[in-house]
Amino acid sequence: MALHAVRAAAIAAGLSIVVLAPSRAVTAADAGIVPPAGATVVREVQAGGAQVYGCTESPSGTYAWTLIGPNAILVNADGTTFGSHSAGPTWTAADGSAVKADGAHPAMVVKRPDAVPALLLNVTTSTGNGVLSGVRFVRRDDTLGGVAPAGGCDAAHANARVAVHYSAIYTFYR
């Protein structure tokens, strides 16, 4: 069974598992989410968790699911825990180093309509002296799931929250 089919089946079953995959080559479909020339890969990790949305009212009185942020575990290729991914967006390694990116202005490519888009984010803040020190870009790719629900957000559900399972590969670049 292909990797994407295994991951899709896990998400459909509501499982929060991470399937490890080897690094993959950049393809033409990646246009727009490739870091600048000279950027080097620091680490590639699998993410598994949820994109968390809140039901909010707009100034015009309509309701929509709004991204609160991710809640995901990051796993190394050998199955050990690399760290976590949370709102900000922020990635924190087990060694205490962390990066925060400009989530408002990503380069974005929609590869699957039923999955959050692939992204290239510019790092705005880096803390700690560890594996994420000096990281300048974070790339999210090979995404499955995580899209906000199509309905269920209205006045009767104002302030409700929903966690939508997703998985992705994150690559960190210096």
Q: What is the pLDDT along the chain (174 residues), one digit of tens a residue?
A: 334 443 444 444 444 333 333 445 556 567 779 999 999 999 999 999 999 999 999 999 999 999 999 999 999 999 999 999 999 999 999 999 999 999 888 889 999 999 999 999 999 999 999 999 999 999 999 999 999 999 999 999 999 999 999 999 999 999
Residue 25: per-residue pLDDT: 56
Tokens of 36: 């600048």
Say whether 23 sits in a helix, a strand or coil. coil
Residue 63: per-residue pLDDT: 98
Residue 20: per-residue pLDDT: 36
Residue 16: per-residue pLDDT: 39
pTM: 0.83
Rg (CA), the chain: 16
Residue 6: per-residue pLDDT: 38
- Burial profile 118-140: b = 16 or more Cβ within 10 angstroms, e = fewer: bbbbebeeeeeeebbbebbbbbb
Say whether 93 sits in a helix, a strand or coil. strand
End-to-end CA distance of the chain: 34
Residue 54: per-residue pLDDT: 98
Residue 9: per-residue pLDDT: 44
Dist CA 70 CA 53 (whole Å): 9
Ordered by start, the domain boundaries in the chain are 3-20+41-173
Bridge partners of residue 111, in order along the sequence: none
Angle at 169 between CA 43 and CA 26, to 5 degrees: 80
